[in-house]
């Protein structure tokens, strides 16, 4: 019995080994164990790009200057439409401000188009304009950015309406203004009768101190998400600006020589365009201008972030880089080799690109309504793509059109084009930028923008 039991135990053991389902190929040397199927990793949904709408002070003054309820209602509607950010103009072209400041006067009135002419609009309310936008914008789920017209100090109005701003009310500020190299000779911009903003000279040390202090005050605003510099450039006369004594001294210091003929050593009176053959002196002058703006932006950035390290700091510029040198601005990254495209640009000109100083930048892709697609400047898509090339990945940028003043936009009725504009601009940049809210309201483009933004967001799912 013991022998039978022992033999039975061996047989049972062998059967149990040979029948284990997990070892069917135990003695097959050619067998490769199958690779375990990995646990799928969910693909993250791409983060939605920001969508900004600009709120110009003058164009929206009637609605918001004296009515906080309208600020609240429109912030809610902006958010419901799909925008993520507002950019609130708090220092329009008069140079007076819509926020608390110890160095700049409070804005009391502004000229704006009403019906068929320009009229003055008065501000009588006592609530803090910027604070109201911050509170109501945040309540609606929006981020709030404040924009300032950086280098302006006054405005001469059309239709004989008069003028406004600190350079007109304070006689000592005339020396702060730009001097233009006009055909009739060197002329302070306050003595020019053409209407428009009056610019401050970026090479003037007092102007720089004023602007840096002002932006430091703005950065201290509780809850403000971002600051955007607008018109941080030379005035609208282009290459005719600035030929003041301040600029002459600073330029001579940069080049290490005294000029015997001013300004003709650089440009003859009335010059508005570069000659075909740009002289060495003219190249140095172009570099001086962009370096002056670069250094001012750098000073402002340091001040802003010393006051509030977490606030976002950016600049608005026109996307037409090929001619933006006339404004004395190189908004590209210093890593972008502009010399390949523009032989007059020096290595110092390239180094004065200020994009690397910024947290974000806005490109005005102000092409006409029928110029949405393309690869060159003066198409929205082209502006976006060329912007990417010039910024070289150093700073996020949002781009988009002026939907009220650009060619074909001025009469309204373009809601059918809006979704394509949204798709084109947001697909070819890091965000969408629209100027201005007043045109969305005027032409009732709310649903058109919502449709375009909704379609963009749906494609991310």
Closest CA to 214 of 135, 98, 331, 125: 98
The pLDDT tens digits for 350-407 are 999 999 999 999 999 999 999 999 999 999 999 999 999 999 999 999 999 999 999 9
Closest CA to 127 of 85, 71, 53: 71
For the whole model, what pTM was predicted?
Answer: 0.90
pLDDT in tens, the chain (461 residues): 334 443 344 333 333 434 334 444 333 444 445 555 555 566 566 899 999 999 999 999 999 999 999 999 999 999 999 999 999 999 999 999 999 999 999 999 999 888 888 899 999 999 999 999 999 999 999 999 999 999 999 999 988 899 999 999 999 999 999 999 999 999 999 999 999 999 999 999 999 999 999 999 999 999 999 999 999 999 999 999 999 999 999 999 999 999 999 999 999 999 999 999 999 999 999 999 999 999 999 999 999 999 999 999 999 999 999 999 999 999 999 999 999 999 999 999 999 999 999 999 999 999 999 999 999 999 999 999 999 999 999 999 999 999 999 999 999 999 999 999 999 999 999 999 999 999 999 999 999 999 999 999 999 99
pLDDT of residue 240: 98
| Cα-based distances in Å from 328 to 180, 235, 285, 345, 400 | 14, 9, 10, 12, 22
- Size (the chain), residues: 461
pLDDT of residue 35: 54
pLDDT of residue 120: 93
The pLDDT tens digits for 65-85 are 999 999 999 999 999 999 999
CB atoms within 10 A of CB 73: 14
Cα–Cα distance, 421 to 158 (Å, whole number): 33
End-to-end CA distance of the chain: 75
C-alpha torsion angle, residues 127, 133, 136, 138 (rounded to 10): -140
Q: Which superfamily, per CATH, for 48-174+190-237+290-460?
A: Glycosidases (3.20.20.80)
pLDDT of residue 115: 80
Q: Are 450 and 434 in contact (CB under 8 A)?
A: no
Listed in sequence order, the residues at least 6 apart from 54 whose beta carbon sits closer than 8 Å to its beta carbon are 86, 87, 89, 147, 433, 434, 435, 436, 437
Return the domain boundaries, the chain.
Answer: 48-174+190-237+290-460
């Amino acid at each position: 019995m013991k022998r039978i039991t022992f033999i039975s135990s061996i047989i049972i053991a062998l059967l149990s080994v040979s029948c284990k389902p997990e070892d069917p190929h135990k003695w097959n040397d050619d067998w490769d164990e199958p690779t375990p199927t990995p646990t799928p990793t969910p693909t993250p949904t791409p983060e939605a790009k920001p969508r900004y709408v600009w709120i110009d002070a003058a164009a929206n003054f009637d609605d918001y200057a004296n009515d906080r309820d309208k600020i609240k209602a429109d912030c809610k509607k902006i958010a419901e439409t799909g925008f993520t950010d507002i950019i609130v103009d708090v220092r329009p072209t008069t140079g007076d401000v819509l926020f608390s400041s110890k160095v700049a006067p409070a804005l009391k009135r502004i000229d704006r188009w009403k019906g068929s002419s320009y009229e003055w609009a008065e501000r009588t309310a006592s609530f803090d304009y910027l604070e109201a936008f911050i509170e109501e914008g945040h309540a609606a789920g929006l981020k709030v950015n404040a924009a300032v017209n950086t280098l302006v100090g006054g405005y001469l109005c059309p239709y004989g309406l008069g003028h406004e701003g600190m350079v007109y009310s304070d006689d000592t500020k005339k020396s702060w203004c730009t001097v233009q190299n006009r055909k009739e000779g060197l002329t302070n911009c306050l003595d020019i009768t053409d209407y428009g903003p009056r610019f401050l000279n970026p090479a003037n040390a007092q102007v720089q101190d004023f602007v840096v202090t002002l932006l430091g005050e703005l950065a201290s605003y509780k809850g403000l998400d971002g600051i955007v510099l607008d018109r941080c450039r030379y005035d609208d006369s282009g290459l005719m600006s600035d030929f003041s004594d301040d600029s002459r001294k600073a330029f001579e210091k940069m080049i290490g020589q005294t000029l015997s003929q001013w300004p003709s050593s650089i440009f003859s009176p009335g010059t508005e365009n570069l000659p075909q053959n740009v002289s060495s002196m003219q190249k140095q002058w172009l570099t001086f201008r962009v370096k002056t703006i670069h250094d001012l932006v750098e000073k402002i950035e340091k001040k802003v972030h010393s006051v509030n390290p977490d606030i976002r700091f950016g600049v608005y510029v026109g996307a037409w880089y090929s001619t933006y040198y006339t404004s004395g601005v190189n908004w590209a990254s210093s890593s972008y080799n502009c010399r390949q495209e523009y032989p007059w640009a020096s290595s110092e000109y390239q180094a004065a690109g200020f994009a690397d100083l910024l947290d974000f930048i806005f490109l005005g892709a102000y092409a006409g309504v029928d110029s949405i697609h393309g690869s060159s400047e003066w198409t929205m898509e082209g502006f976006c793509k060329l912007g990417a090339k010039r910024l070289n990945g150093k700073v996020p940028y949002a781009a988009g059109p002026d939907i009220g003043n650009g060619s074909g936009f001025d009469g309204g009725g373009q809601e059918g084009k809006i979704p394509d504009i949204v798709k084109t601009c947001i697909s070819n940049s890091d965000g969408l930028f629209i100027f201005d809210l007043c045109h969305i309201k005027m032409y009732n483009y709310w649903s058109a923008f919502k449709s375009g933004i909704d379609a963009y967001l749906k494609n991310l799912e």
